[in-house]
Structure 1
């Protein structure tokens, strides 16, 4: 078994983390921060929007069970990659759509997939997803890990996360654990 890493930013990390952790072949998905200039990151500082970090989910996965491309397709289905620096009411560069690649092959696959999705006009507008080299990953605070799992009755979870996850479970039923 070879474990690879993938890192995605799709706005708030709670939904993406909850979905990725349900996929076969994913050994872990952790919420955190990446892509900033500051040499540390935490929720308060990242929310202020001046560190340059994005809220991300770092996924550890077995490439013999689930491919990087499949993870990318799940990522694109869980947010609107045509919105620049925002997802819904979450506004700022910390909520940008971003793929942080960990090697040249991931960079190639992500770049080709964005071009394909734009060419096929899968979305109503051109994708603005940033594709950047992975940098230091800062795990989010413990209360963010498994947030949806531990807080399903919280209003944001009920009205934003739960509907996305229901759609995800239908669309990707064959990939679920």
Structure 2
């Protein structure tokens, strides 16, 4: 049986072998816990590595009177995983080629491109001016209100409402 507390105390004294023993003894289980929390192997591996670095750095803070050593290890891992989940919600992955293009424009282009080339809707949307098409797609694909579209296009609200209304009338005529 591994004496986790003794290994953590050894880490606090700078014994790298003790950290290796901790990883050997608990690394597989810790990785499994991280996978269950994060649901991604790559993030779980990163969380485990960061947790072990924190164990190394904070080993001197471990206090046996406050809890057992294994619990301390898993608490560090759990906190690291939760921090990564919180940060992941704020991070939106963007392909390097899309960095100069606002994400909304990319989504609108993708939605338009997914319409079949023989589609009546695509044919009718192509007949609209670019601003009307963007406003209509932003309304129906992204779910934006007229006010949100006006803010994103840096256009007056009345103009956006008119573009959408005229564009929808043209679409109705074209599709009937």
TM-score normalised according to structure 2 size: 0.22
Give the strand-richer structure, 1 or 2.
1
Bigger fraction of residues in helix: 2
Larger Rg: 2
More relative contact order, 1 or 2 (CA 8 Å, 6+ apart)? 1
